[in-house]
């Protein structure tokens, strides 16, 4: 249940320096300015980007100290003038909020907006009881009753806290698949089935594609066979060329096209990116969703020879959020089996466990 702010004073868990434990810090609830809303956090997902800030040497754009966390769901408790929101409304906060007014935004390139705001990077994020966010671009959650905040949302098996992962883990692959125009009859390869990749596989399967997954975790491969992955491979057992031959055999066996494969690299690892590029074939489409600082060596001419395409994907435009959210609320994409809830007080332990690869599910922090 949502906490009474009068009984639970507002607080944040602040990153004060790289590699240092977060510090719990109380603060006075601010009054939102025009075009802002104050959100009581229901849940905040923990992403590998947060690890990059705390342990990986990636610098936040906002000076430290800063509350991390960009996967936020919650309820409006106060709204500034001209916000268009009312207290009691439930929402998901997009991980990246373009300004909506600049030339990039007006040209349809909001993901590269120079004024974009990412909670937990540009402003205080969701490792907190409350957060102030811009009012534009927020995604309303239909079916939420503030009088029964723990009730299920419509016909879905998720609650508001679980919907926090929609803000990145679901919407990021949703945009990537939308750009690739994944549809019924497509053959989709997903490299890396944890987190973002697992949801990419579910979304592709919900669109009627045949989904082939690659992940070194055999338990994850088995689990995803129940959530849309028709064939799973451990990439450590064969070379990219051999794996491509096995995918070609699957396509032939099931009457699928041997061209036009859509490949999504979601592992964010050197090996995963090498495999994804190695799967390229005629008229293939490669979407790079995962991120790594590691460099790989490749022959760029393969794109020319195969008449293939490669594209990156950064976050998700706010206008795509309602449709992505509907895939979860309708049950087409399942969230609950892939998350693990922790009280916000355990945020430091959660980050340490994630850094040590000791969590098999996406952590959601509950204030």
Does residue 101 have a pLDDT over 70?
yes
In 3D, which of 90, 89, 51 has the Cα closest to residue 70?
Answer: 51
Phi, psi of 285 (to 5 degrees): -125, 120
Q: Give pLDDT, residue 324.
A: 98
Mean of the per-residue pLDDT values for the chain?
94
Confidence band, pLDDT 50/70/90 cuts, at residue 9: confident
327-352 pLDDT, tens per residue? 999 999 999 999 999 999 999 999 99
Greatest CA span in the chain, whole angstroms? 64
Burial of 367 (0-12, 13-18, 19+ CB in 10 A): buried
Domain boundaries, the chain: 11-168+316-366, 171-312
268-287 pLDDT, tens per residue? 999 999 999 999 999 999 99
Topology classification of domain 171-312: Rossmann fold (3.40.50)
Contact in structure between 258 and 275 (CB atoms under 8 Å): no
Class of the domain covering 11-168+316-366? alpha beta
Does residue 7 have a pLDDT over 90?
no
Lowest mean pLDDT among 2-6, 179-183, 311-315, 359-363: 2-6
Q: Give pLDDT, residue 65.
A: 98
Q: Give pLDDT, residue 1.
A: 40
Q: Give pLDDT, residue 26.
A: 97
Does residue 40 have a pLDDT over 70?
yes
Q: Give pLDDT, residue 144.
A: 85
Q: Which CA distances in Å does 134 have to 33, 38, 71, 98? A: 9, 9, 15, 10
pTM: 0.94
């Amino acid at each position: 249940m949502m906490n009474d702010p009068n009984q639970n004073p507002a607080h944040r868990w602040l990153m004060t320096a790289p590699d240092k434990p977060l510090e719990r810090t109380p603060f006075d609830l601010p009054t939102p300015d025009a075009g802002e809303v104050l959100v009581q956090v229901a849940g905040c997902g923990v992403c590998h980007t947060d690890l990059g800030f705390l342990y990986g040497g990636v610098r936040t754009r906002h000076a430290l100290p800063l509350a991390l966390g960009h996967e936020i769901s919650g309820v409006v408790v106060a709204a500034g003038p001209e916000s268009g929101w009312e207290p009691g409304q439930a929402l998901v906060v997009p991980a990246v909020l373009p300004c909506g007014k600049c030339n990039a935004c007006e040209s349809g390139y909001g993901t590269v907006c120079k004024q974009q705001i990412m909670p937990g990077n540009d402003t205080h994020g969701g490792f907190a009881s409350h957060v102030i966010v811009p009012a534009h671009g927020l995604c309303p959650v239909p079916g939420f009753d503030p009088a029964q905040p723990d009730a299920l949302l419509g016909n879905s098996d998720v609650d508001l806290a679980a919907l926090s992962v929609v803000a990145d883990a679901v919407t990021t692959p949703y945009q990537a698949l939308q750009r690739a125009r994944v549809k019924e009859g497509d053959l989709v390869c997903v490299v890396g089935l944890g987190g973002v990749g697992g949801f990419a596989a579910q979304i592709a399967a919900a669109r009627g594609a045949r989904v082939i997954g690659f992940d070194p975790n055999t338990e994850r491969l088995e689990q995803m066979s129940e959530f849309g992955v028709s064939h799973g491979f451990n990439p450590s057992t064969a070379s990219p060329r051999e794996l491509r031959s096995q995918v070609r055999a699957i396509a032939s066996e099931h009457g699928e096209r041997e061209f036009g494969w859509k490949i999504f690299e979601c592992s964010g690892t050197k090996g995963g990116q090498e495999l994804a590029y190695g799967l390229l074939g005629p008229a293939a489409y490669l979407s790079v969703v995962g991120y790594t600082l590691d460099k790989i060596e490749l022959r760029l001419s393969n794109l020319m020879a195969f008449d293939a395409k490669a594209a990156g994907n950064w976050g998700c435009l706010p206008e795509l959020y309602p449709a992505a959210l509907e895939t979860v609320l309708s049950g087409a994409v399942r969230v609950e089996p892939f998350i693990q809830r922790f009280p916000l007080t355990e945020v430091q332990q959660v980050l340490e466990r994630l850094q040590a690869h000791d969590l098999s599910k996406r952590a959601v922090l509950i204030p």
